[in-house]
Amino acid sequence: MALFGGNRDISLFRHVNRELMRNIISQQVVYYKCNVTETKSNIYGEASTGRVFNEPVIMFALIERSDQSYPIEDQFGPAFSQPITFKFLRDDLVDASLVPEVGDFIMYQNGYWEIDSTNANQYFVGKNPNYPNKDNTGVNPLEDDLDQFGYSVSIICSTHYVPADRVGIVKERL
């Protein structure tokens, strides 16, 4: 039996993380999930009439900003670039029924960032509970309860800046 990383430890860790994210750090973003079933695509797999998004969800996140750069200049002037990494608690995403995927948008400080990649490899006590290392008989010869230890903490989204006119998300008046 593992000494640390059980249900009580996970509960404490989850509570501290949520309090830290909501009451101390308090950085919020608006998450726009692309609705693939409602988005119509042409024969090339492109959304010719624009993408359809589900209702936006406000989420707490840790935000890691990179420096701004202006790598190229086109007919409209210099292009703006700023990659940002957004880190979400997995429990908050589960509660909001969100699965971050490539192509979703995050609005932060009136700018839009499109998700390029997601990463989910932060584990409490370094253990992924989905892999208890059992043999072909379904038993771990050294420890039989390793599936009850460990916890997947967060999902990290790497993004790039997209100008608002290219996103196609507009506020509608009711």
Taking a C-beta distance cutoff of 8 angstroms, is the pair 52, 34 a contact? yes
- pLDDT at residue 138, rounded to an integer: 63
Residue from 13, 6, 17 nearest 148 by CA: 6
Per-residue pLDDT tens digits of the chain, which is 174 residues long: 455 667 788 788 888 989 999 999 889 999 999 877 766 665 555 566 667 778 899 999 999 998 887 777 666 666 778 899 999 999 999 999 999 999 899 999 989 999 999 999 888 777 777 666 665 566 655 566 666 667 788 999 999 999 887 887 766 555
- pLDDT at residue 85, rounded to an integer: 97
| Element holding 91 (H helix, E strand) | helix 90-95
Q: List beta partners, residue 115.
A: 159
- pLDDT at residue 1, rounded to an integer: 47
- pLDDT at residue 151, rounded to an integer: 79
Taking a C-beta distance cutoff of 8 angstroms, is the pair 83, 114 a contact? no
In single-letter form, the type of residue at position 91 comes to: D
Separation between Cα atoms, residue 164 and residue 174, nearest integer Å: 21
Name the pTM for this structure. Answer: 0.79
